[in-house]
């Protein structure tokens, strides 16, 4: 949900709504800190994640959906790919910036698909 704080720093928006499933909240509040059970040869858990963004403006609506298995298994590839792109960008960023300002989100997410997640826009 941290994105709701960073999005207005580079996109003009009047409203941001975020939702999280009760199961995800319960997982975060659980006193059981043991890691999830792996279910495949890649070491991923059975957890399925979905992130959906719907942007509405002037009567039009655009939608992007990223989904995959085991959200923790996507964090490392996502961070490594984003870091590699930022550090190798011509001129490089100066000062503090939000990753969304520096990189093309569609290109970044597509580069991780289909091995780590699927990404679809409409």
Which range marks the domain in which residue 68 is found?
3-121
pLDDT digits (tens, 9 = 90+) for 67-111: 999 988 888 899 999 999 988 888 776 777 778 788 888 899 889
Give how many domains the chain has, as a whole number.
Answer: 1
From 119, 88, 91, select the one nearest 105 (Cα to Cα).
Answer: 119
Q: Which residues pair with 53 in a beta bridge?
A: 64
Specify burial of residue 77 (Cβ count, 10 A radius: 0-12, 13-18, 19+): middle
Helix, strand, coil proportions of the chain in percent (round to 5)? 35, 20, 45
pLDDT tens, residue by residue, 25-35: 888 888 988 88
pTM of the complete model: 0.75
């Amino acid at each position: 949900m941290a994105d709701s704080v960073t999005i207005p720093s580079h996109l003009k928006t009047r409203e941001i709504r975020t939702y999280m499933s009760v199961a995800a909240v319960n997982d975060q509040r659980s006193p059981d800190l043991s890691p999830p059970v792996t279910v495949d040869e890649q070491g991923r858990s059975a957890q399925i994640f979905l992130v959906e963004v719907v942007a509405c403006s002037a009567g039009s609506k655009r939608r992007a959906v990223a989904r995959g298995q085991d959200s923790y298994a996507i964090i490392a590839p996502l961070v490594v790919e984003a870091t590699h792109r930022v550090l190798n960008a011509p001129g490089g960023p100066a000062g503090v910036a939000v990753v969304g300002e520096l990189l093309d989100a569609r290109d970044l997410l597509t580069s991780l698909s289909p091995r780590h997640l699927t990404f679809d826009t409409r």
